[in-house]
Chains A and B, each alone.
Chain A
Amino acid sequence: MAMQGIMGMLRNAMPAASAKHTVLGVFSDAESAATAGDELKSAGIPDTDYDFLTDSPYPEGSLGERDEPHRLYLYPFIGALLGLSSGIMITAMTQVAYPLVTGGKPVLSLPPMAIVCYEGTMLGAILFTVIGIVFESRLPKFDLGLYDNRITQGFLGLRVKAEPEQSREVVQIMNAAGAVDVKTDQ
């Protein structure tokens, strides 16, 4: 029963196999790619169904892409808290486990504890930031899907997921906007 429940949860968590077709337009300049994006929007394709693929960052909004909310800023705080807790634990426990009383002062010496805790806090924050960057970027991605190597040579890709009946229109939009090549997964 438990196994069936877990399998059911996994099935729910995984996206249903998409019946949509994928179309990839390859553009030689940002203006054509942005125009194709605008035309797709006008044709009623939601902006969550298409993505621009580039080999370098373009200024936000220059391709008319959707805004991408993320929660990356939460990660360093969680990491910092965990790192600080680990730092306190390590420094306090080692001193308590092996108490060296120096000049009648308390066993727990706070200034050195602060230094090690500081490093632990920063390490935790940085580790979790990196984990956050990877997960928030939706990586690792094991299947690239429809892709073109020219994208990393300065061309821009516009990848669209469209209903089967819309895919021909998408191809036409891409060609009209000046795509140098259009590929489909069909």
Chain B
Amino acid sequence: MQEGKVLPAAQVNRDLLRSILETPRWFWPVVSLLGMIVLAAAVTIGIMVDRGLGITGLNYKVVWGFFITNFVFWIGISHAGVMLSAILRLAKAEWRRPATRAAEVLTIFSLMTAMIMPIIHTGRPWRILYWAFPYDFARGVWPNIRTPLVWDPSAILTYLTSSTLFVLIALVPDFAVLRDRTTGWPKIVYTMLAMGWEGNPRQWKLQIIAGVLLSALILPVFVSVHSIVSWDFGMAVAIKSWHSTVFAPYFVVGAVHSGVSAVVFAMILLRWAYGWQDYIRHEHIDALGRLLIVVATGWFYFLVMEIIFGIYGLEGDELAVRALQFLPGDHGVAYNVWMIVFVGITYFLPVILWLPKAWRRNLWIMSVACISVNVGMWLERYLLFVPGQANKQFQTFTWNDYLPQWPEALIVGATFAFVSMLMLLFSRVFPLVPLYDIKEGDILKTEMQIGRRTVPATFRED
């Protein structure tokens, strides 16, 4: 597992701070382009707030469409941070080192993006304060805490706060490196952020304990967040195909599947953009590919269980939704075709691509596999939420369909630009690969002679 050479600390600083101390020629044009897409979406949101949700494809039957699908998708992506950082840190997996920061930062930006979706979906964003938070000084009306729509903000805000603090605490030693390498006003800012960090044994001891302790504390939050998101649907008794007990673990594993795939793709992009070949190596992508095979198979198991238990009860309403999902019919949207596409690109195609070692080490193939998973996981959420609502339900007597309109498509597309832009801007001011973690890994690396072979080894403390 150690294919990289041990690099001097000065070179690690030079390489990993290049994104901050130098501006690549492509940087501002790319950020500007992404910014324009985000601006177009912001204007569209303004139009939507002004004219109402009527300009979207949402209708009386299908009230949760692209926005909520996108909300769940980004919450899912956010799970990569804790998955990689916390679990691998607790498991002391050496190959986590270059991936943790990017994964944690992706968590923060994904959560921020996810939170925008239900807010604009309400149509009256300014009223969120009254619906979700215990804030009322005049009307005597308080939020109903029995609804998952109140549990959701409490879980997401807890996760966002925790993840942000987790990243900030781990950034303090790297702020000190930046403090010592910059001049002028950036030095003043980094000096304040470093809070006087000097790197004495006490500070390092607490930094290491902090990593483990915060990982252990955030893990239960990470599981709770997507469980609670799944209950937005699972607790809705009236909508068939949503009211499923398997939703919580199914959503959590699915989130890890899409999140880790997104991190792998982000790492490949960063390696290419900033020339970090010595840090994000083929061995790391290979290890993540193997992990993804396990996660993908776990997710597939839950998918099959969810479908089997849905059909097994032979309830008429449930069977009608399943028929809509899986069978060809005269319905406007061919959900059955999308279902085949979704399962194919979320499980079978990527797993086949991840099985051979040579393919796991081919960054083009890994990129295709990871993009495929994420397109598939977006489709998965769409195909879980929309057919259930399109079907006739208790006390509703019509079938209706949902055809997303341009505002939804533009806003959803712009969320990808938004997260990419935030990641790029972050990489411009903070290191996306943790410097001290890489240096620690280099200190602990050694070689052992076993018989006639010299093998790499790593010292590890308990």
- Min C-beta distance of B290 to chain A, whole Å: 28
Q: Which 7 A-B pairs have the closest CB atoms?
A: A154-B9, A141-B196, A56-B439, A140-B195, A98-B142, A57-B204, A149-B180
CB neighbours of B203 from chain A (8 A): 137-139
Proximity bits, B182-223, A CB within 8 Å = 1, else 0: 000000000000011111111111111110011001101100
A119 to B199, CA, bound (A): 33
Q: Tell me whether B13 and A51 are in contact (CB under 8 A).
A: no
Check A126/B459 contact, CB under 8 A, given A57-B440, A98-B140, A116-B151: no
**21 CB-based A-B contacts, threshold 8 Å:** A51-B198, A55-B435, A57-B208, A59-B459, A60-B461, A63-B201, A68-B202, A68-B205, A72-B213, A98-B144, A113-B145, A115-B151, A115-B154, A126-B221, A130-B169, A133-B207, A139-B196, A142-B196, A149-B180, A152-B176, A153-B180
- Min C-beta distance of A115 to chain B, whole Å: 5
- Min C-beta distance of B89 to chain A, whole Å: 13
**Residues of chain B in range 146-176 having any CB-CB distance to chain A below 8 Å:** 146-147, 150-151, 154-155, 157-158, 161-162, 165, 168-169, 172-173, 176
| Of the residues A93, A115, A137, contact of B206 by C-beta under 8 Å | A137
Chain A: interface residue total (CB-CB under 8 A): 60
**Residues of chain A in range 58-108 having any CB-CB distance to chain B below 8 Å:** 58-60, 63, 65-66, 68, 70, 72-73, 76, 90-91, 93-95, 97-98, 100, 102
Given contacts A55-B177, A152-B13, A157-B199, 17 further A-B contacts (CB under 8 A): A53-B198, A66-B201, A90-B134, A94-B134, A94-B143, A95-B145, A97-B142, A113-B145, A115-B154, A115-B224, A126-B162, A129-B217, A130-B165, A133-B209, A139-B195, A139-B196, A141-B196
Closest to B179 in A: A152
Check A68/B146 contact, CB under 8 A, given A126-B217, A142-B196: no
Check A68/B201 contact, CB under 8 A, given A76-B213, A94-B134, A137-B207: yes
Q: B236 interface residue, CB < 8 Å from A? A: no
Check A122/B195 contact, CB under 8 A, given A57-B440, A94-B134: no
CB neighbours of B150 from chain A (8 A): 112, 116
A63 to B221, CA, bound (A): 37
- Min C-beta distance of B30 to chain A, whole Å: 30
CB neighbours of B436 from chain A (8 A): 55-57
Closest to A98 in B: B142
* Dominant SS among interface residues on chain B: helix
Q: Which of A63, A109, A115 has the most CB of B within 10 A?
A: A115
- Min C-beta distance of A6 to chain B, whole Å: 26
Proximity bits, A4-33, B CB within 8 Å = 1, else 0: 000000000000000000000000000000
A95 to B143, CA, bound (A): 8
Q: A134 interface residue, CB < 8 Å from B? A: yes
Q: B328 interface residue, CB < 8 Å from A? A: no
Q: B10 interface residue, CB < 8 Å from A? A: yes
Residues of A bordering B, CB below 8 Å = 51-60, 63, 65-66, 68, 70, 72-73, 76, 90-91, 93-95, 97-98, 100, 102, 109, 112-113, 115-116, 118-120, 122-123, 125-127, 129-130, 133-134, 136-144, 147, 149, 151-154, 157
| Of the residues A54, A127, A139, A144, contact of B204 by C-beta under 8 Å | A54
